[in-house]
Every structure is written in C-alpha cells, then in structure tokens.
Structure 1
C-alpha cells in the first residue's frame, strides 16, 4: 500500500471481515499451515473490497497499464473492483478454454503489446498465476507485474522473478499473523 496508514486500514479490514483464520489448514499447494488467509471473505465484503480496490488503484495509477486481469475464480472480484475504480479495461483468464459458445481462454479484449497487471488474492508459491502469465504472453500481451492482496512469503516473489515478473503485495503474511 502506498502509505503505512492505508496498509493498516487494510490489515484491520482483513481481520474484521474474518479473512485471517488460525487453526490447521492445507493450502492449495498441499502444504500445511497454522493460518489461512481467506481473501474470498474480503472480496465478498463490500467495505473491504473497496479498500483493496482503492489501494490497488493508487499503486498502479502511474504504471501505464492497458488493462487489469484476474484469474478465475479468486481474481475475478478483485480485478472487477479495480477495473471499476481505475477505469482500466478488465481481462479475465480461465484456467482452461471452454468448449462451448465462443470458447477461448480470455474474457475481455486486449491487443498485442497490451500491458496487463494481473491481480491475485493470495500468493504462496506463485504457481497458479504463472499459467495465466504464460497464456497472456503467448497471446501477445505484456505481463511484468502481479499485484497480490496478501503474499504468504513462501517463494512467490522469487518464483515470479525467475520469469521476469515483479510481485507487488498490498500486505505480507507477516503483517497479519
């Protein structure tokens, strides 16, 4: 977040809406954890989603982007809220192309060379967003940064860095737990 006060507002909102949970959890990566960050709780809470959208828009304002994107499902409400707040076009990325209708991997249009910022709810290893980055790059767009609401500080920054993508967290897990 651009200012420490704004960061604390987001931290407080994430805790207040029940997005930070403690117990025994298995993460998507298969790893065990004593805490879980449920950003879907945050993205379904209008007040918290608005804080995320405003904070993200402040961060990306001067990045010369053509669109914001989100991977289905977790990135959809985040990218939609940021699109509305920033007035940047929205691109949604499916995990696989659908076999009916117009098909395709993307919802929303972008031109070759378009600069797209991907939004993630929580990053752990960065593995789930890498597939989306590859797909967008293969379609001719540029993805050089991913903004995540919470980085679990478990290797995503290094993993994405290895493919030339900068990870920008609004908050880190160490800020929350």
Structure 2
C-alpha cells in the first residue's frame, strides 16, 4: 500500500537521492542512497510526507512508534496532525535511568504503529517489533516514507508486519525518469 504522489516523489527524489558507493545498515552496498535527513530537515517537505503517512495509518492505531533516529521527527509530525501519542523507540534500551527501549507511554496491550524513514531489509523495524511485542505491545503495521525493498516483496513478512509506504523505490525511479 502506497500513496504514489508523483509530485512528492519528484521532490523527494530531487532532494534526497545521492549517488556514489554506500554501505547500508543491512551491510548491502548500493550505488545510490536516499538521505532521508535532507527531507526531514525541510519543514515543508517533512509536512507533506507526514500528511501522506496519516492516510496510511491503520484506524485502530493507539500509539505511534518513531524509530531512532529518522523515524522520530516523522512520528512527531504525524502525531501533531493526528493527536496520537508517540513513542520514541531506541535501537537499544538505555543502560541507565529508566532503562527503556521506548520512551513515552506504556505499550502493554496497546496497538502501536511503527513509523520509519527508509526500509530496505527492515532490520531496525524487525528488532523494534520483537522488543515492543516482548513488552506487550500489539504491533502489526509499519508506515515508512520510502520502501526500498524489491517490488512485490515484504521484507517484514517473517515478523507478521504489513508495510505501508508513502513512496517506493519504483515511485522515485519513475520520478527521476520523468525529470
């Protein structure tokens, strides 16, 4: 499920696509990289992405879980548009203070929709899903700005997550071809 806004795809592609040699979180090497911080640092572009994400949220969402670091500003913007409370989900639980993985309201028994910036293999989302479920959260969906995974594949099927994306790599490639 995507929104496929062609104007947004063109603007994100023009702002964020970098070429070169990049090692991704998964260890894969890519000749291109979508630097999500370039759109997240632009309030107007971030707002457009967040508006599209609002349309993709499951109706039963109780909490938004913004993944460290790129998912946090997006989740905050989506929360400001929807009134949903937000969690800030760390890559690892703190080893001091509250020792929490997810900062914010208690997740036990709550339906948490994860918010992520870019998904390729879904490693960070997979890790967060497992940890949140162990804490009692109900996690069935992730909404991301860009899904870079191969077309027609759900990289998070193994943990039972539905991926909903504002844009896919194919949307961004089509925008580049039109430019």
State the TM-score, normalized to the length of structure 1. Answer: 0.89
Q: Structure 1 residues 83 and 157, CA, compared in 2 at 3 Å: closer, same or farther?
A: farther
**Are the equivalent residues in 1 in contact too, given 2:3–2:52 (CA < 8 A)?**
no
Q: Which residue of 2 aligns with 1:20?
A: 17
**Are the equivalent residues in 2 in contact too, given 1:118–1:147 (CA < 8 A)?**
yes
Shift of 1:65: 0.8
Q: Gaps (5+ residues) in structure 1?
A: none
* CA deviation profile, 1:122-149 (whole Å, cap 9, x unmatched): 1111111111001111111111011111
* CA deviation profile, 1:67-89 (whole Å, cap 9, x unmatched): 11111111111111111111100
Size of the aligned set, in residue pairs, is 173
Q: Structure 1 residues 158 and 59, CA, compared in 2 at 3 Å: closer, same or farther?
A: closer
Shift of 1:91: 0.6
Q: Where does 1:27-46 land on structure 2 (aligned, <5 Å)?
A: 27-46=24-43
**Aligned-residue CA RMSD (Å):** 2.0
* CA deviation profile, 1:21-49 (whole Å, cap 9, x unmatched): 22222212121212111111111110110
> Distance in 1 between the 2:42 and 2:106 partners?
29
SS of the aligned residue for 2:155 comes to: helix
> Distance in 1 between the 2:2 and 2:152 partners?
21
Higher relative contact order (CA 8 A, sep 6+): 2
> Distance in 2 between the 1:156 and 1:67 partners?
28
Q: Gaps (5+ residues) in structure 2?
A: 174-179
> Distance in 2 between the 1:9 and 1:69 partners?
27
* CA deviation profile, 1:36-64 (whole Å, cap 9, x unmatched): 1111111111011000111111222x521
State the TM-score, normalized to the length of structure 2. Answer: 0.88
Q: Which residue of 2 aligns with 1:49?
A: 46
**Are the equivalent residues in 1 in contact too, given 2:146–2:165 (CA < 8 A)?**
yes
Q: Which runs of 4+ in 1 moved over 4 A?
A: 1-4
Q: Where does 1:1-177 land on structure 2 (aligned, <5 Å)?
A: 4=4, 7-16=5-14, 18-60=15-57, 63-154=59-150, 157-177=153-173
SS of the aligned residue for 2:138 comes to: coil
**Are the equivalent residues in 2 in contact too, given 1:70–1:79 (CA < 8 A)?**
yes
